[in-house]
Amino acid sequence: TSKSTLATSLASGDTSIVQNATSTSSNTNTDSTTILTGSATTKSSTTLRGNGTASVTSSSPPEPINTTPCNNYPEFCARRYSNITMVAAHNSPFVRTGSAAANQEYPVTTQLDDGIRLVQAQIQWPVNGTVPHFCHTSCDILDAGPITDWLTDIKNWVASHPYDVVTILLGNGNYSTPDKYAPYIESTGILSYAYTPPVVPMNLTDWPTLSQMILRGQRVVFFLDYMANQTAYPWLLDEFSQLWETPFDPVDASFPCTVQRPPDLPADQAKARLYMINHNLNAEVSLLGTSLLVPAVSLLNTTNAANGSGSLGASAETCKSDWGRAPNFLNVDYYNYGSPPGSVFEVAARMNNVTYDRACCGGVGVSGATALLR
Q: Is residue 90 flagged as an active site residue?
A: yes
Q: Is residue 161 flagged as an active site residue?
A: no
Contact 361, 371 (CB under 8 A): no
| Interatomic CA distance for residues 135 and 93, integer angstroms | 9
Residues 6+ apart with CB under 8 A from 257: 246, 277, 315, 318, 319, 322, 323
Helix (H) or strand (E) holding 237: strand 236-238
Exactly one of 133, 136, 161, 279 is catalytic; which is it?
A: 136
Cβ count within 10 A of residue 65: 10
Q: At what angle do helices 312-323 and 343-352 cross, to 10 degrees?
A: 20
| Interatomic CA distance for residues 295 and 282, integer angstroms | 5
| The length of the chain, given as a count of residues | 374
Residues 6+ apart with CB under 8 A from 2: 24, 25, 27
Catalytic residues: 90, 136
